[in-house]
Structure 1
């Protein structure tokens, strides 16, 4: 489904569940927020499994040539040291844009499933609440996968560490589900977007195509370890959270990470629809 159909069909897809119809004035100022400034990581926090918050073990996350990159040249082996870099402000509703590519070879000891594998974690828990040995934040993962040059391998899939969603109006409890995306081989840049509307609706978009839609994101299920039980209240809808990017053992680069904050529009359906229509015709931020 193309982006045009995606925006025009929002209400039918469940947007009406979330929104009120008040006549509040639209925000006076709104703009794209460049989460990554191309220079440094000052607005980000790092959490790597087995290491305290902001111990960027092995200089895993760094800036090179204006890109945020994930590197393993200071690792002797991966040793299940899954990492995430969190933007330091939570959001409730937003359009996220990420441009990424995979490069090089997987670090020694990385699991087979993690070859050319990374992701953007949506509506994630506060990194300050993660356990020392916790592997993934409780969140919704828009999973990025790179092709191996031969086989079909979708990207912008959904994985659910400590969460569940509704898929096709039914509670979906398996850990991952593939999107309908194309396969992107080699080291080419891929443009991915996520539209997140609080605890109502999430859509994954790749190169202008909507490839996956789900609703009612909520805490639940498994596939997350060593978490604080107080942070995992199964059945609780996820209204807001943190955005993070992964290190899962394969080098990856991000040249753009930007958000348009839609939170101020959530109480007015007409304003939100108008803003989404405007964003549809935008140039890439």
Structure 2
């Protein structure tokens, strides 16, 4: 009996250690961008098939993921997005970016120093060849023009709606409360995405906009497969992509903590988010 109790105690100790090890590993950052190449990322550029990286728009140089237009004669509304290979539901995402250089000829005026991270995006395999934007929630990145106030980490809604102040928000974009970041400085954007419950945009540690119940609806995405765009459907998860909208931009880090293992454990969820934001 003594030997049996000793064996059971050893087993419980081992199980406890294994559980601790799994928990410890689960809240580590997943580096979506490896700093070397575009492994695990797939481009979708308007008027081109999925996987065609037209004019080498997306590239990796000097350890950075770069969006460039030196192979374009004219932008011609060839909006592009590069998608990470798998979808997520509950997560903390960090993106470090900077705008550089001059806008591509033919880019719209509103696209000056304009890009973004698309959250909860549709599967890129379901996008039409001429579709301009994925159905998604856009965390819009804007760079200052040197004089005017211009917030970043704004909210735009291609083919989606959200709830703000207990009301369905149907306009396309709304500005955040962030500061303006002029020039070519690096900006660290963080996003707390909790399924179809709530989303928070942060610049560094500062929350600049929050919204709730992301769902399919509205316009500002065209053309689109009606079998994919089911208006009113809550969006629990989806694909993450980064934009090319005619202005060169660099991405230094794109990383994520998967929060889904603790999505129903409020205290643990809060702990993982707070620890991640402090990194």
Q: Do Structure 1 and Structure 2 share a fold, with TM-score over 0.5? A: yes
For the pair 1:172 / 2:175, whether they are aligned, the reply is no
CA–CA separation in structure 1 for the residues paired with 2:123 and 2:146: 37
Q: 1:10 matched to which residue of 2?
A: none
Q: Which has the larger radius of gyration?
A: 2
Q: 1:200 matched to which residue of 2?
A: 197
Equivalent residue for 1:215, pick from 191, 212, 217: 212
The runs of 5 or more residues in structure 2 that have no matched partner are 1-18
The runs of 5 or more residues in structure 1 that have no matched partner are 1-24
Q: 1:88 matched to which residue of 2?
A: 85
Which structure ranks higher in relative contact order (CA pairs < 8 Å, sequence separation ≥ 6)?
1
CA–CA separation in structure 2 for the residues paired with 1:210 and 1:268: 22
Deviation, structure 1 residue 272: 1.3
Equivalent residue for 1:137, pick from 118, 134, 139: 134
- 1:35-184 residue pairs with structure 2 within 5 A? 35-184=32-181
CA–CA separation in structure 2 for the residues paired with 1:54 and 1:273: 37
CA–CA separation in structure 2 for the residues paired with 1:145 and 1:270: 34
Describe the SS at the equivalent of 2:115: strand
Deviation, structure 1 residue 101: 0.5
Where do 4+ consecutive residues of structure 1 move more than 4 Å?
Answer: none
TM-superposition CA deviations, 1:169-225 (whole Å, max 9, x none): 111000000000000000000010111000001000012210000000000010000
Alpha-carbon RMSD across the aligned residues, in angstroms, is 1.1
Describe the SS at the equivalent of 2:158: coil
CA–CA separation in structure 2 for the residues paired with 1:121 and 1:177: 15
Describe the SS at the equivalent of 2:227: helix
Equivalent residue for 2:240, pick from 231, 237, 243: 243
- 1:19-30 residue pairs with structure 2 within 5 A? 27-28=22-23, 29-30=25-26
Q: TM-score, normalised by structure 2?
A: 0.90
Q: Does the aligned pair in 1 maintain the 2:76–2:106 contact within 8 Å?
A: yes
CA–CA separation in structure 2 for the residues paired with 1:202 and 1:258: 17
Q: TM-score, normalised by structure 1?
A: 0.89
Worse overlay, 55-64 or 265-274: 265-274
Deviation, structure 1 residue 227: 1.0
